[in-house]
A and B are shown apart, each in its own frame.
Chain A
Amino acid sequence: MDSFYRANNMDWQAIGLSVRLSISTTLILLALGLPLAYWLTFSKRRWKFLIEAVVALPLVLPPTVLGFYVLLAIGPRSPIGALYARLTGGMLPFSFQGLLLASVLYSLPFTVQPVAAAFAAVDPRLLEASWCLGVSRAATFRRVLAPLALPGIATGAILSFAHTMGEFGVVLMVGGNIAGVTRTVSISIYDQVQALNYTAAAWTSLFLLGFSFTVLVFTYSLQRRIWSIWPGRHGL
């Protein structure tokens, strides 16, 4: 009964919301990040490094700064906010959709960088051989590049998922603290501590710690296993 009480003390609604946010973010990032990583890897444009720097910004920028700019960008008086209001009648700040947008930007490098590194490790002649056999660029991406870069793609997806699960600063700036809408796990822990409810905070923190550790253990073991079924590529 005691453990049941403790478990009930955890903010399951916040955990559920965080999982939903992380899954959505990861799916959107896979759709956006793979083409972006492809472009970053294979484009010969001189100004490519500028885009690389922009993609990497969330790695070094304080989440509050990123959150602040996102908040300005999606506010009702901004073009993006106005367009969204016209299309849906709703508002982006302090909504799940606004939070999702911020999360996607915030986790972008966590998808793009491992995927781009995996793309760069694939022998470009394999792609060229496929093109010369009459296979389109899109089909070559799907049939040659993506399977060979699978470990990198898996790493990118898992890291983005885990990173979004633990997000705090950006959520606070863009999403606020609305139960069931924008109150994620980390916000919930902060609330519990503010309310001096240390037991609940401890259990929620332990959950997040255990989750993060499990995800990382899974990622690294998966990587090793995928590498080992891809023969002859161990050194890359």
Chain B
Amino acid sequence: MASELSCHCRRRLPSGFEVDADLRIPFDQSPVTILFGPSGSGKTTLLRMIAGLDRPDAGAISFLGRDWFDSARAIHLPPQQRRAAFLFQDYALFPHLTVAANIAFAARPGKARELLKAFGLADLARRKPHAISGGQQQRVALARALAADPALLLLDEPLSALDAPTRARMRYELRRMLLDAGVPAIVVTHDRMEAVALGDWMAVIVDGRIRQTGPIQDVFRHPADALVAGSVGVENVLPAGIVAREDGLLTIQVGASRWQCVDSGGLPSGEGPVFACIRAEDVTLTRELPQSSSARNRIPGIVRSVILEGPLARVELDCGFPMVAVITAQSAGELQLRAGDSLSAIVKATSVHLTG
């Protein structure tokens, strides 16, 4: 209870878009929390309200039991009193100050020099921000934030300004630096890889509302609804109907085919419309003839397109409904896939996740 951020607040933007977020983050379980959502979902607005840079129209925000904002009691602490260091997407380093002066900007004596060394920036101390690389700028921004002894770190898409190879390397480096710092952090991102590599716990925001919270793997495996499934990158979200339930196994109707899947509970009892969510990498393809297998669902389809994405191939199928499979480029080659081919998609019963 003590170590948490509680935030339920509402803000209408001039565009008419409204963020109405209800969020509770237990930092003792989650040193690094991911705030995940597609662009335009209100992530940055929410982060700015937590930092005190934007004032919510109504609601309350408290951190570690201290009220940061409460519209009912007219409490609105300025950013200076919240000490929630904000790392902007492009780092917002002070262009007129050297690396060392940036880090020392809000630091107590000694701390800046210590961080300069710890972050491997000692050689760059006298350079100006424009004269160092993107990855280095990010380290300076993080060191500058930590030098001020923040209570909370807020990172807005921290890796988006980097080139792809640096980004991949920085994911793990950033995670290590955040854990070493021992300051709870909220990281905004719309990148699934980034979320998995950086965070422990995640909140999904879609259309200005928090849709689901929980450990990252849980959220990716079991999206709470079709909207979350779509936004966390579960490519196949198919309308389905429950036909039968027995012994923890469900039979569902998807298009013309019947599938079996595991009843994980949490679904309304009885029969009714649901969504079957399948991640594209959980769909395998085969040209073999059908043979019965209890744990597998075999869905005949026609290849619509094959797109190579580096070591992976993205295959779009028409199974009476659109279905996406991601397989290795190697198996795509072995299968000699071509648009118009008939084959079968195979989905394990355990890979089908049902949501209401």
* A and B interact physically: yes
With a 10 A CB-CB cut-off, give which of B51, B79, B83, B148 has the most chain A CB atoms: B79
Cα(A143)–Cα(B102), bound, Å: 11
Interface residues of A in 129-164 (CB under 8 A from B): 129-136, 143-144, 147-148
Known A136-B80, A230-B95; judge A128-B105 contact (CB<8 A).
Answer: no
Report chain B residues within 8 Å CB of A231. 95, 128, 130-131
A134 touches B96 (CB 8 A): no
A151 → B minimal CB distance (Å): 12
Q: Verify if A2 is at the interface (C-beta below 8 Å from B).
A: no
A131 touches B94 (CB 8 A): no
Q: Which of A128, A143, A147 contacts B53 (CB 8 A)?
A: A128
How many residues in A have their beta carbons less than 8 Å from beta carbons of B? Answer: 20
Report chain B residues within 8 Å CB of A133. 85, 105-106, 144-145, 148, 150
Cα(A125)–Cα(B161), bound, Å: 15
For B96, the closest partner residue in chain A by CB is A147
Q: Which of A125, A134, A147, A232 contacts B83 (CB 8 A)?
A: A134
Q: Verify if B92 is at the interface (C-beta below 8 Å from A).
A: yes
Q: Which of A129, A131, A136, A148 contacts B88 (CB 8 A)?
A: A129
Q: Which of A129, A135, A136, A144 contacts B86 (CB 8 A)?
A: A129
B79 touches A132 (CB 8 A): yes
A39 → B minimal CB distance (Å): 17
Q: Mark B93-125, 1 if CB is under 8 A from A, else 0.
A: 011100000000110000000000000000000
For B151, the closest partner residue in chain A by CB is A134
Q: Verify if B84 is at the interface (C-beta below 8 Å from A).
A: yes
For B152, the closest partner residue in chain A by CB is A132
With a 10 A CB-CB cut-off, give which of A128, A135, A144 has the most chain B CB atoms: A128
Report chain B residues within 8 Å CB of A232. 95, 130
How many residues in B have their beta carbons less than 8 Å from beta carbons of A? Answer: 27
A131 touches B130 (CB 8 A): no
For A143, the closest partner residue in chain B by CB is B105
Interface residues of A in 211-236 (CB under 8 A from B): 230-233
Report chain B residues within 8 Å CB of A134. 80, 83, 106, 148
Report chain A residues within 8 Å CB of B96. 147-148, 230
A132 touches B86 (CB 8 A): yes
Q: Verify if B40 is at the interface (C-beta below 8 Å from A).
A: no
B145 touches A126 (CB 8 A): no
Report chain A residues within 8 Å CB of B51. 128, 132
Q: Mark A107-138, 1 if CB is under 8 A from B, else 0.
A: 00000000000000001011011111111100
Q: Mark B59-103, 1 if CB is under 8 A from A, else 0.
A: 000000000000000000011101111101010101110000000
A114 → B minimal CB distance (Å): 19
Cα(A129)–Cα(B92), bound, Å: 7
Known A132-B86, A134-B83, A231-B128; judge A148-B95 contact (CB<8 A).
Answer: yes
A132 touches B105 (CB 8 A): no
Cα(A146)–Cα(B150), bound, Å: 25
Cα(A136)–Cα(B128), bound, Å: 24
A132 touches B85 (CB 8 A): yes
Interface residues of B in 188-232 (CB under 8 A from A): none
For B148, the closest partner residue in chain A by CB is A133
Known A231-B130, A232-B130; judge A131-B78 contact (CB<8 A).
Answer: yes
Report chain A residues within 8 Å CB of B128. 231
Known A129-B88, A130-B105, A230-B96; judge A135-B80 contact (CB<8 A).
Answer: yes
B95 touches A135 (CB 8 A): no
Report chain A residues within 8 Å CB of B86. 128-129, 132
The 4 closest A-B pairs by CB, nearest first: A133-B106, A132-B86, A131-B79, A129-B92
A residues with a Cβ closer than 8 A to B are: 123, 125-126, 128-136, 143-144, 147-148, 230-233
5 pairs of residues in contact across A and B, judged by CB atoms under 8 Å? A131-B80, A132-B83, A132-B85, A134-B106, A147-B96
B residues with a Cβ closer than 8 A to A are: 51-53, 78-80, 82-86, 88, 90, 92, 94-96, 105-106, 128, 130-131, 144-145, 148, 150, 154
